[in-house]
Amino acid sequence: MRLLIICLCFISFNLAAETRIAILDFELKDLTLAPGIPAEVKRTALIKPLLERELRSAGYRIIEIPLTAQHAANGGEGYLFDHADLAAELGKNFDADYILVGRLHKPSFLFAYLMGNLIRVSDGQLVDQIISESKGPNIDLTIKAVESLTVKIDKLLERRYAPPPPSKLIKQPK
């Protein structure tokens, strides 16, 4: 019985100690001559779930913030990205330790930047602006950019993420 109580206390301590991160939907800032094409809108929408998956794999607890709450807090495109204090208030309402406000910044057809402002909710301070480059619209390259973003976030927090090994192309014998 005593061992069971000790185990339960340990488990509840670990659950309470999890770092809680809220990730807002990424915004697309497309500066190309053909902004907002459906493929870019789709790629932008994939970033958040990919990032959440990677952070979960490292043991972070992902806090869901409903899209309605995100829209209500946002004063317009880029507003929460530029106002860490207001993003922190949103994160505080959902009991997050950190909130990541992200954007896909696309200055060219050849490359784009995944940008995230990591904000500490307790004091509303910007921990860091994290940037990862993605060359081309290929989904595999976007996944690699998300993994790179995850590595950078984890280095700022707890250093426990291990990205998947790079896939190797296997040459078929002729």
Q: Which domain holds residue 75?
A: 19-156
Considering the entire predicted model, what is its pTM?
0.83
- CATH number of the CATH domain containing 79: 3.40.50.10070
What contacts 8, CB < 8 A, 6 or more positions away?
none
What contacts 53, CB < 8 A, 6 or more positions away?
none
The answer as to whether 61 is a domain residue is yes
Please state whether beta strands 111-120 and 125-135 pair in parallel, antiparallel, or not at all (unpaired): antiparallel
Number of domains in the chain: 1
3-class DSSP state for residue 30?
strand
Give pLDDT tens digits along the chain (174 positions). Answer: 555 455 545 444 444 468 999 999 999 999 999 998 999 999 999 999 999 999 999 999 999 999 999 999 998 888 999 999 999 999 999 999 999 999 999 999 899 999 999 999 999 999 999 999 999 878 889 999 999 999 999 999 988 887 777 654 444 444
The answer as to whether 29 is a domain residue is yes
The pLDDT, as a whole number, for residue 14 is: 47
∠ CA 43-44-48 to the nearest 5 degrees? 110
The answer as to whether 111 is a domain residue is yes
